[in-house]
């Protein structure tokens, strides 16, 4: 939950900075900063999904450990 919030705050700050660059006619800097904001947003989404999927992943490992049907 903590990393999700950090990345979300970073993405919002990048959006604000990109808007300021765009208003000052620095299109290249606005594009780069906006792109970094999108990456930060995806990282926050990834952290959220990771926190949701992690508890169910341990259940899947238990099922796979009992499934040793290798031929001898």
Q: How far apart are CA 46 and CA 64, in angstroms?
A: 25
Give residue 19's pLDDT: 93
What is the dihedral sign for C-alpha 32, 36, 39, 45?
Answer: negative
Report d(CA 64, CA 20) in Å as an integer: 52
pLDDT recorded at residue 47: 87
Query: Tokens 């904001």, residue?
Result: 37
DSSP 8-state symbol, 67: -
* Three-state secondary structure call for residue 52: helix
| Residue ranges of the chain with per-residue pLDDT less than 50 | none
Looking at residue 44, what is its pLDDT? Answer: 92
pLDDT at 57: 61
Q: What is the pLDDT of residues 30-40, one digit of tens each?
A: 999 999 999 99
Tokens describing residue 67 = 């499934």
């Amino acid at each position: 939950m903590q990393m999700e919030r950090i990345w979300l705050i970073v993405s919002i700050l990048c959006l604000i900075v990109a808007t300021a660059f765009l208003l000052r006619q620095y299109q290249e800097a606005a594009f780069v900063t906006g792109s970094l904001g999108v990456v930060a947003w995806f990282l926050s989404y990834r952290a959220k999904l990771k926190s949701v999927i992690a508890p169910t992943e341990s259940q899947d490992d238990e099922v796979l450990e009992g499934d040793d049907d290798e031929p001898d």
